[in-house]
């Protein structure tokens, strides 16, 4: 659907690059128009009316004009700033990570209003737990990953073996990113990774439960690592690349 010549949208900056003397090229994620690339002219000048409204982790109301190659940001007004995220290394790394996920998974001009809502809610969660030792920040990321996969049609199968369609018994299983989910012990072949029963249970819980209903789980580091690795295998399989922000996040977690 072509954009109208001038349109308003609420959104976030996912990525930005300095351009020319004072401009920036932005990758935006908006609720109504999906991912779009735009130029903010003069935004690096302190006198710019846009300056301060197009910062990372800031929900802004935008007015854009359709350009030939890039849209042009003509107005921006910050509506919500996640300042605690910016002040906490792990939370900032986590926020950049979900921004990179959206940037890599979404095509331009393909609106995903539910995913946008989830993105906003996840930033609020990361902001709320910033600087604390709460495992809820970790949960918020796994919840985001699973719901993102869901929204894009890559929901991992966790009830039936994705190879033979038999219900999974309560025992350790395998997991194949290529086949799209859990595989039963009979179907484990080269390429399937082990998936413990506790990890399968947590993944099912995250996939099938609203955020507010999720119990406060305290998971052992080894189990958290297994769940992370399972989801990363799926993400890497679909993106066919490593995410730069994932490496940062791993470092942040081990400080
Ligand atoms: Zn099977």
Show the beta-strand stretches assigned E in the chain: 6-19, 23-30, 34-40, 58-65, 71-81, 173-176, 181-183, 193-195
CA of 144 to the centre of ligand 1 (A): 28
Domain-embedded: residue 1: no
CA of 204 to the centre of ligand 1 (A): 18
Secondary-structure breakdown of the chain: helix, strand, coil percentages, each rounded to the nearest 5: 40, 25, 35
Q: State what percent of residues in the chain have pLDDT above 70.
A: 97
What average pLDDT does the structure give for the chain?
A: 94
Which residues, in sequence order, are CB contacts of 106 under 8 Å at separation 6+? 29, 34, 35, 112, 115
Question: Residues 45, 124: one domain?
Answer: no
CA of 188 to the centre of ligand 1 (A): 8
Give me the pLDDT at residue 133, please: 80
The number of folded domains in the chain is 2
Question: Residues 105, 184: one domain?
Answer: yes
Q: What is the pTM of this model?
A: 0.94
CA of 182 to the centre of ligand 1 (A): 9
Domain-embedded: residue 227: yes
pLDDT-derived band at 253 (thresholds 50, 70, 90) equals confident
- 120 contacts 60 by C-beta, under 8 angstroms: no
Among the residue ranges 59-63, 209-213, 217-221, the one predicted with the least confidence is 217-221
CA of 174 to the centre of ligand 1 (A): 9
CA of 194 to the centre of ligand 1 (A): 13
- 217 contacts 202 by C-beta, under 8 angstroms: yes
Environment class of residue 79 by beta-carbon count within 10 Å: exposed (0-12), middle (13-18) or buried (19+)? exposed
Rounded to a whole number of angstroms, the CA Rg of the chain reads: 20
C-alpha to C-alpha distances, 143 to 16, 59, 123, nearest whole angstrom: 26, 21, 12
CATH number, residue 58: 2.40.50.140
- Tens digit of each residue's pLDDT (9 = 90 or more) over 96-152: 999 999 999 999 989 999 999 999 999 999 999 998 888 899 999 999 999 999 999
CA of 223 to the centre of ligand 1 (A): 23
Give me the pLDDT at residue 68, please: 87
Give me the pLDDT at residue 2, please: 58
Domain boundary among 81, 110, 141: 81
Question: Residues 89, 51: one domain?
Answer: no
CA of 148 to the centre of ligand 1 (A): 26
Residue tagged 């999974």 (tokens): 168
Give me the pLDDT at residue 191, please: 74
Domain boundary among 65, 81, 97: 81
CA of 155 to the centre of ligand 1 (A): 18
Question: Residues 117, 219: one domain?
Answer: yes
CATH number, residue 125: 1.20.1440.120
Task: Return d(Cα 120, Cα 223) in angstroms, integer.
Answer: 27
Question: Residues 74, 93: one domain?
Answer: no
CA of 167 to the centre of ligand 1 (A): 8
Domain range enclosing 124:
84-253
Question: Residues 151, 72: one domain?
Answer: no
Is residue 189's pLDDT more than 80?
Answer: no
Question: Residues 249, 217: one domain?
Answer: yes
Task: Return d(Cα 217, Cα 49) in angstroms, integer.
Answer: 45
pLDDT-derived band at 1 (thresholds 50, 70, 90) equals low
CA of 191 to the centre of ligand 1 (A): 14
- Tens digit of each residue's pLDDT (9 = 90 or more) over 170-182: 999 999 999 999 9
Question: Residues 192, 212: one domain?
Answer: yes
Is residue 28's pLDDT more than 90?
Answer: yes
Mean pLDDT, residues 236-255: 87
Give me the pLDDT at residue 3, please: 56
CA torsion 6→111→92→133, rounded to 10°? 140
Question: Residues 41, 54: one domain?
Answer: yes
Question: Residues 54, 93: one domain?
Answer: no
Task: Return d(Cα 138, Cα 97) in angstroms, integer.
Answer: 12
Question: Residues 21, 51: one domain?
Answer: yes
Question: Residues 135, 247: one domain?
Answer: yes
CA of 160 to the centre of ligand 1 (A): 8
């Amino acid at each position: 659907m072509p954009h109208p010549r001038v349109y308003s949208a609420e959104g976030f900056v996912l990525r930005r690059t300095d351009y020319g003397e004072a401009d920036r090229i932005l990758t935006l994620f908006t609720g109504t128009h999906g991912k779009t690339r735009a130029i903010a002219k003069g935004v690096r000048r302190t006198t710019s009316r846009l300056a301060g409204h197009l910062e990372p982790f800031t929900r802004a109301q935008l007015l854009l004009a359709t350009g030939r190659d890039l849209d042009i940001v003509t107005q921006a007004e910050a509506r919500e700033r996640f300042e605690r995220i910016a002040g906490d290394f792990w939370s900032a790394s986590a926020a950049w990570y979900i921004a990179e996920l959206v940037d890599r998974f979404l095509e331009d001009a393909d609106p995903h209003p539910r995913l946008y809502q989830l993105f906003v809610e996840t930033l609020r969660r990361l902001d709320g737990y910033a600087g604390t030792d709460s495992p809820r920040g970790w949960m918020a990321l796994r919840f985001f990953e699973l719901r993102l996969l869901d929204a894009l049609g890559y929901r991992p199968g966790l009830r039936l073996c994705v190879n033979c369609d038999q219900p999974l018994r309560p025992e350790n299983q395998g997991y194949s990113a290529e086949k799209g989910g859990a595989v039963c012990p009979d179907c484990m072949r080269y390429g399937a990774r082990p998936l413990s029963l506790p990890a399968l249970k947590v993944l099912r819980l995250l996939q099938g439960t609203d955020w507010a209903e999720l119990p406060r789980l305290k998971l052992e580091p080894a189990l958290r690592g297994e769940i992370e690795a399972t989801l990363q295998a799926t993400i890497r399989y679909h993106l066919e690349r490593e995410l730069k922000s994932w490496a940062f996040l791993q470092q942040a977690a081990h400080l």
